[in-house]
Amino acid sequence: MKKFAVVLSGCGVFDGAEIHEATLSMYAIKKQGAEYEIFAPDIDQHHVINHITGDEMNEKRNVMVEAARIARGNIKPLSEFNAADFDAILFPGGFGVAKNLCTFAFDGADCKVDADTEKAIKAMYKAGKPIGALCISPVVVAKILGNVELTIGQDKDTASAVEKMGAHHKQTNHGEVIIDAKNNVYTTPCYMLDANIVQIGEGAENIVRAILKTLA
């Protein structure tokens, strides 16, 4: 049975992991006969956002503690990730990717990447194992690997930043998956487009299916 590492960036679209993308990715993995284990960096998140008002709140939260809400407590620090134990790694989106896993939300193409996130991606790349990224997550892959083919959907500014990082952007619509076979990178746009939850589910199922097809 194939095993995915799912990396979360907190809990909540505006300051952490996008919950629909995270949950439907886990559903897609199990539905298609694979297993998963959940990881997150054990770090403070950049800030806390009130998801009703959009205002920043005067408090601190930990990325892994927040992600544990989605994982139902069954989560490990990303520092403990071992590429040898997994067949693929998958990154759901959410602003937490661009604020906690890296600084893309603030620095664009000049962003810095969390050390454990970078280590995990490089380890999987070196091992020749699939790297999947949904929504905004491909920007982290672009920053670390550079010359890869991927998608963030249709947003021109984000696509331009991805290109500045050395990656090659492909415009996509709902549910489409860009496969870079040479680098074993799989990306799909999800909520980078104006999507509904059904379309998110389709994107998650399609990217997991594409990865499992490669692993078959």
Catalytic residues: 135
DSSP alpha helices (H): ranges in 46-103?
63-71, 95-96
Residues 171, 33: Cα–Cα separation, whole Å: 30
One-letter amino acid of 190: C
Residues 195, 135: Cα–Cα separation, whole Å: 11
Looking at the DSSP bridge assignments, the partners of residue 5 are 37, 89
Tokens (6 digits) for 124: 């999987």
Phi/psi for 91 (5° steps) reads -115, 105
Which helix (H) or strand (E) segment holds residue 119: the answer is helix 115-126
Side-chain half-sphere of 12: how many Cα atoms within 13 Å?
A: 16
Phi/psi for 213 (5° steps) reads -65, -40
HEC assignment per residue over 145-179: HCCCEECCCCCHHHHHHHHHCCCEECCCCCCCCEE
Helix (H, G, I), strand (E, B) or coil at 95: helix
